[in-house]
Amino acid sequence: MKDSSFRIEPLGNRHRGLFCCGVKVLDRYFHRQVSQDIRRRLTACYVAICGDSDRICAYYTLSACHIPLPDLPADITRKLPAYPTIPAVRIGRLAVDQDFRGQGLGSALLVDAARRVIESDIAAFALIVDAKDEGAVAFYEHHGFSRLNVVAGAQTLFIALKGITARLESK
C-alpha cells in the first residue's frame, strides 16, 4: 500500500461499523452473513484496519475449492498430471470501503491472500476469484489473473501461486 498505516488480520469478533464498499451484495454479506459462514467453517475472513483507529477499511474471504482440470488453459495443464481436479483457494469476496479506494488496499489484500495460502501447510496450485462484473475482471487481470476456460460470460479467474507474491507486489 502506498500509505502503509494499516494492518490485516482475521475478522474475529471485531465490530464491523459502517463499512461500505458501495456494492450492496458485498456490503450485505459482510454485515449479515460472514460471521455465520466463519462459524460453520465455510469461509475465513480477513480485514484491513486503518491507522490507529479500529475502522475496517477492506475485507476479503478465503475458502477451499478445486478447479476441474479442463478449465485450465492447455499451456498449464500440459505441465500437470491428469488429475480430474486441481486444488485451489477461492477469494469469494473482496471489497474496499469507498473512503479508502485508490490507496493500494485492494492490491495489498491480494498479496496477503497469496501469502497466507503459500505459507499454509496445505498445498493449493492457484487462487481463484469470482469477479462480480467486468470492472472487477479488469482489476484482477491488472494483477495477473486470467480467465478459466469456462462457459462464455463466466467471470472466474485464476492465478497460479508459484512465484506469485513477487509478481503481485510489483503491481
Ligand X SMILES: CC(C)(COP(=O)(O)OP(=O)(O)OC[C@H]1O[C@@H](n2cnc3c(N)ncnc32)[C@H](O)[C@@H]1OP(=O)(O)O)[C@@H](O)C(=O)NCCC(=O)NCCS
Select from 43-51, 77-85, 101-109, 159-167 the region that touches ligand X (CB under 6 A). 101-109
Residue 114 vs residues 32, 54, 90: alpha-carbon distances, Å: 26, 24, 11
Distance CA 70, CA 48 (A): 35
Task: Report DSSP state, residue 71.
Answer: G
Q: Which residue among 104, 149, 161, 165 contacts ligand X (CB under 6 A)?
A: 104
- Would you say 87 or 104 has its CB closer to ligand X? 104
The residue type at 7: R
Q: Which residue among 136, 148, 159, 160 contacts ligand X (CB under 6 A)?
A: 136
112: left (phi over 0), alpha (psi -120 to 50) or beta: alpha
Select from 45-53, 81-89, 119-127, 135-143 the region that touches ligand X (CB under 6 A). 135-143
First to last CA, the chain: 10
Q: Which residue among 8, 72, 105, 111 contacts ligand X (CB under 6 A)?
A: 105
The residue type at 18: L
132 touching ligand X, by CB under 6 A:
yes
The residue type at 109: L
- Would you say 1 or 82 has its CB closer to ligand X? 1
131 touching ligand X, by CB under 6 A:
yes
The residue type at 34: V
Residues that bind ligand X (CB under 6 A): 21, 23, 26, 94-96, 101-107, 131-132, 135-136, 138-139, 142, 171
